[in-house]
Each structure stands twice: as C-alpha cells, then as structure tokens.
Amino acid sequence: MSNLFDLLGRIFISSIFLLSGYNKIFNYTDTVTWMEGFGVPGFLLAPTIILEILLPVLIIIGYRTQISAIILGVFCITTAFIFHSDFSNQMQVIAFLKNFALTGGFIFIAVNGPKEWSMENKKKYVRL
C-alpha cells in the first residue's frame, strides 16, 4: 500500500508542473511578456517549459527521481522569490508559501527516493 501512496504523491506533486508547462506552451507570447515584466529574459521560457515537463515525468516514472526533485525544489524557491515576493498581496503570499511547500515535498522525495514502483528500483536478476 505504501508503494501506491508513494506513486500517488509523486503524481500529485508533479501535476502542477505538467499543467504549468502545458499552459506556457499554448500561451508562449503572453508568458514571455509576463516574465520580462519581472526582469527575467524571455529566452529562459523554453528551458523552463522543458524543465516543467521533463522533470515531473521523471519523478512520476521514478527515474533520476532524487536529482529531479532537487532541481525542482531549487526552481520553486527561485520562482517564489522572483515572481511571488509582493507580500502586500495576499494571493502572492499564498503562492510564495505554496512554492515553499512544494519544495518541502521535493526535499522529502530527494531524501527518501522513490519506493518500489519506480524505474530506479528494477530488480536485477542474475542467471546462473
């Protein structure tokens, strides 16, 4: 049962990034404009989309899970400070704290790794 909950947790924590990456693809120009409004160069959007789609997929399937979790945790902290540091706006405070909460989940994944239902845990059998 713990393997099921581990997989569900990896799916749930990854889903926000998959949806965000998908939305950035279909709102590319608007997202570039929004990012540039915060002083972030627009050319960083393409690597961001790749990061937001590739790393969550790796976490879900359980391949290179710990390094993916560390990178996404750093990404969450970075984006919290860049895009959500208007503490006079309650919604931005919530988004800031959401990013820190996600980082906490990624730290948990990085420390514990994926359980048995992962590509990293494939059993290696030796034929005699």
Tell me the pLDDT tens digit for each residue of 32-82.
999 999 999 999 999 999 999 999 999 999 999 999 999 999 999 999 999
- Residue the block writes with tokens 């710990």: 66
Distance CA 59, CA 62 (A): 5
Q: Is 85 helix (H, G, I), strand (E, B) or coil?
A: coil
| Reported confidence tier of residue 125, pLDDT bands at 50, 70, 90 | low
pLDDT score of 127? 67
pLDDT score of 108? 96
What mean pLDDT comes out for the span 78-93? 98
Distance CA 44, CA 68 (A): 19
- 103 exposure class (CB count in 10 Å sphere: 0-12, 13-18, 19+): buried
Q: Is 89 helix (H, G, I), strand (E, B) or coil?
A: coil
Question: Considering the entire predicted model, what is its pTM?
Answer: 0.91
